[in-house]
Structure 1
Amino acid sequence: MDTILIATRDPSTSTAMRRILSREGQVSAADSPDQIWQQIKSNAWECLFIDLPLMEALSDVLDHSADPKALVQQLKGLRPLMAIVIIAGNDNLRKAVRYVQNGVSSYITAPIDADEVRLVVDEISRERRQQSELAYLRERIWKDDSLDIVQTRSPKMQKVFDNLMSVGPTKTTVLLLGDTGTGKSFAAKLIHRRSNRKNGPFISVHCGAIPETLIESELFGHEKGSFTGAHRRKLGKFEVASGGTIFLDEIGTISKAAQVKLLTVLQDGIYQRVGGEQTLTANVRVIAASNSDLKQMCTDDLFRKDLYYRLNVFPITIPKLCERKEDIPLFVRAFLNKFNQFDTKAIQGVHPGVMEALLRYDWPGNIRELENLLERAYILEKTPALTPESFPSELFDNAEAMTGIPIDTRETLDVVRKKGLAEIERRYLKEVLSRNKGKINASASEAGVGTRQLNKLMHKYHLDKGIFK
């Protein structure tokens, strides 16, 4: 790390931290809430070490007393890349843990232990490198027009990305689970790009699209004359993928005979072409995917249990689009950018009513359905933004009346009141942003708030100014 801010009123702590971190980069100190806040506003610190009393004092200064989550969100809103580490005595560890649960990177104990500080710094640096690598991979994939799930605001999807990054460099067999259209193929490509086989081929096989009588030949190849129509030797996908990765999509559809051969490949790394006697070595990494419940298929004797256990070494479930709706505005922008590359329309956004409908819809076809619906609307649209007239009317049939706020009488009055106020605030901001075509300064002036406050509220309600332009 190049820049570190140490915030403490204890001179011995400050001296010890400066000595330990002097080799890490530029180290500065602050000892009052006002000074800390000014330093954070003025400089893009990579890491802030702050003792617990000063963190609590900073919370009071910024009007977030007794609300660690709000304070951390404000700090992260201003410096999203800044790691925050709490310094706490043994009698205050419970409070330090509470801050970690609300977004702080880590904590260390006082008196300062050099090994503990270095361990925390190493962990933060390692996580920063992983995030940089992920961002690099996303940028490469973006350039390849693989727009399915390159960005996320969803905690569920972020965990998936973390798992993909972790398993990528290993040799482990991966089983991707999830509904059709959730992005399993993209996830498989990301694992391949992260692996040490990234310079080798990536061969994708949609097992469900291959007739049962041909699946063995397709995967393992065949010899000339091995069956009617086999006029010459054919190399199977496992040979073609040598040195790289083979992705077996819809693995649950393959025949029992092909399951036996695949099990041999996974167990012993060998196979034979159909009609052949030569034993071949499989130099591939296997990634499989299924939208069926393979475990239940094993119970129903439709899928071999031993093969399932071999495939299920590192399972990753890709969430449905309805479970990550906060990503829909990102997908809309990405798909519009993609369509604009092949058309002169230059459509830049969608009508707020359309976005409302997109966020309400359950998306049984997931990301693929969203892309298809947007592409159809793009073709029909005559204005610079996608309007309701370009979408099927069914998308708006279940729209909630904008004048009504749902009330759940099973909840307390306080909870219902907070939800109602939040909904009113969200709708108000949408109307203001829509009227001002997403212009922050004009919208903030009309709403009677500062631009920083408006940006915070937009982040809170997942409102992207781009959709109002």
Structure 2
Amino acid sequence: MRKMLVITRDGNRSAKIGGLLDQREEIQTRTALCSSAHEEDREVDTLFVDVESLLAKNKSINKALEEFWANYPSAAIVVMADDEQTKVAVDAVKAGAFDYLTHPIEKEELGLVVDKVRKSDALQSELDYLRGQFWDEDSLEFVDTRNKAMRDFFAKIRQVAGTRTTVLLTGETGTGKSLIAKLIHSHSNRKDKPFISIHCGAIPETLVESELFGHEKGAFTGAVRRKLGKFELAHGGTIFLDEIGTVSPSVQVKLLNVIQERVLQRVGGENDIPVDVRIIAATNEDMKELCEKGTFRTDLFYRLNVFPVRIPPLRERPEDIPRLIEGFIKQFNGLLNREITGISEHVLDALLQYDWPGNVRELENVIERACILETDDVLHPNSFPPDLLDAHGEVLTALVKTSLPLKQARQLTIDNFERQYLTNLLEQCNGVMKMAAEKAGVTTRQLNKLMNRHGLRRKNFQKRNS
């Protein structure tokens, strides 16, 4: 049972809100904030507080929220406000409150907020579990995802990381296969041993054997000294073979022998050298098709395909794009000595519609370019490639998301249209709510709810057009 607390100076409103909430929840109401909470009250899950109670004693929003959290450290704070107090409520959300509601509060609207709190708690609980049980601190931001397919993917990575099982990572170019390989290694019992990465497709065919298995002095022209190969260097640790489908038939034979016998011979050598190496291979090709064509050995494929894992492309997880952009901006602020605070709402909407054929790598490159070119503290359309966005931040070619189920694709299209419509409208009206509501044919309260749903803030449009 969840514990909820309603704090408002209006006893009638407090009673009404208590009546609207699910009666299966444990609900308490108060007309003022106590100076200190009882020990049993510190477990409150959700705190509904009106603006008057929030700003009691003329405190700043930040200080008021800090006082609430001091008393109720686990609570998600939902601010309740009249229409004229909306700005204060929005500022409270920016300062860390979970969400806000406007009076008169409707049961459906209240239920949506409560559901959002529940889902947020569930996600946080899982992240806390992962923090304590598996992922190291440096990986938490990387593995945090809102997409079900990616959550399933990381669940598989958790299962296989601690074993010595050979892993085959498949996925399109730019999905982050090398990062996943490093993630697996860093969470294995080999993490204190070497992690050696080799891009098989980037090495001339004549040198691949030498790079992988090493060579003896005089083995070929230019071999003036003995050289250890990548497998020897990775002894006791992990070797990552990227673009494994590009290796030649002769290398495939030697690679198969290393996997089966756990020994190798350097080029030009005769002695068997024992190696203890965990193999992670990766490809963006269809390995079964290569086997059918006869360009890749079927027996080697089966040796590598012990634990196959497909990395979903970025277009199948658009809900992760805002989080990735935020992370890249933070990264490039440090590298480029910039102070970019965010991205234009209009541009973000456009990037959510783009199909990202280059996946996460393409997104990273686009954000890096924008951070270099941007002269403001927010990324605007003119900082993005002209072949990606037009001057207004529109995607030049918005593709239908056929990779998604019809219902999900339809909802995504509706959300994108609604967000774009509101963004254009608010820009035209310079953030004036009354004018925008009249043009849209809705009430200011309805407009405010729509803006809240899409994360649009009137202040942003006023600043942008001032």
TM bin, normalised by shorter chain, reads 0.5 to 0.7
In the TM superposition, 1:38-437 aligns within 5 A as 38=28, 40-41=45-46, 44=74, 63=107, 74-75=113-114, 77-80=116-119, 82=121, 131-133=130-132, 136-137=135-136, 139-141=137-139, 149-397=142-390, 425-427=418-420, 430=423
Q: What letter matches 2:274 in structure 1?
A: T
Q: What letter matches 1:41 in structure 2?
A: T
Taking a change above 3 Å as real, the CA distance of residues 321 and 427 of structure 1, as seen in their structure-2 partners, is same
Distance 1:157 1:364 in 2: 18
1:457 has 2:462 as partner: no
What is the root-mean-square deviation of aligned Cα atoms in Å? 4.5
Q: What letter matches 1:387 in structure 2?
A: H
Q: What letter matches 1:131 in structure 2?
A: L
TM score, norm. by length of structure 2: 0.65
Distance 2:459 2:199 in 1: 37
Taking a change above 3 Å as real, the CA distance of residues 277 and 455 of structure 1, as seen in their structure-2 partners, is farther
Distance 2:409 2:218 in 1: 73
Query: Conserved in 1, the CA contact under 8 Å of 2:2 and 2:25?
Result: no
Q: 1:36 is matched with which residue?
A: 26
1:195 CA drift (Å): 0.6
1:36 CA drift (Å): 2.3
Identity of paired residues, percent?
47
Q: What letter matches 2:46 in structure 1?
A: K
1:361 CA drift (Å): 1.7
Unaligned runs of 5+ in 2: 5-21, 29-43, 48-71, 76-104, 401-406, 432-442
Distance 1:301 1:416 in 2: 39
Q: 1:448 is matched with which residue?
A: 445
Cα deviation 1:104-153 (Å, max 9, x = unaligned) = xxxxxxxxxxxxxxxxxxxxx9x67752258843x4147xxxx8x54322
1:357 CA drift (Å): 2.3
Distance 2:160 2:199 in 1: 22
Query: Conserved in 2, the CA contact under 8 Å of 1:177 and 1:316?
Result: yes
1:417 CA drift (Å): 11
How many residue pairs get aligned? The number is 361
1:467 CA drift (Å): 9.7
SS in 1 for 2:185: helix
SS in 2 for 1:224: coil
Q: 2:39 is matched with which residue?
A: none
TM score, norm. by length of structure 1: 0.65
1:170 CA drift (Å): 1.0
Distance 2:361 2:283 in 1: 16
Taking a change above 3 Å as real, the CA distance of residues 231 and 354 of structure 1, as seen in their structure-2 partners, is same
Taking a change above 3 Å as real, the CA distance of residues 222 and 422 of structure 1, as seen in their structure-2 partners, is closer
Q: What letter matches 1:166 in structure 2?
A: Q
SS in 1 for 2:168: strand
Query: Conserved in 2, the CA contact under 8 Å of 1:77 and 1:456?
Result: no
Q: What letter matches 1:77 in structure 2?
A: K
Distance 2:133 2:150 in 1: 13
1:331 CA drift (Å): 1.6
Distance 1:327 1:5 in 2: 29
Taking a change above 3 Å as real, the CA distance of residues 5 and 387 of structure 1, as seen in their structure-2 partners, is closer
Distance 1:415 1:165 in 2: 28
Query: Conserved in 2, the CA contact under 8 Å of 1:205 and 1:248?
Result: yes
SS in 1 for 2:189: coil
Taking a change above 3 Å as real, the CA distance of residues 128 and 281 of structure 1, as seen in their structure-2 partners, is same
Deviates more, 1:33-42 or 1:248-257: 33-42
1:394 CA drift (Å): 1.8
Query: Conserved in 1, the CA contact under 8 Å of 2:243 and 2:282?
Result: yes
Q: 1:120 is matched with which residue?
A: none
1:385 CA drift (Å): 1.3
Unaligned runs of 5+ in 1: 8-31, 46-60, 84-102, 104-124, 408-413, 439-445
Q: What letter matches 1:189 in structure 2?
A: K
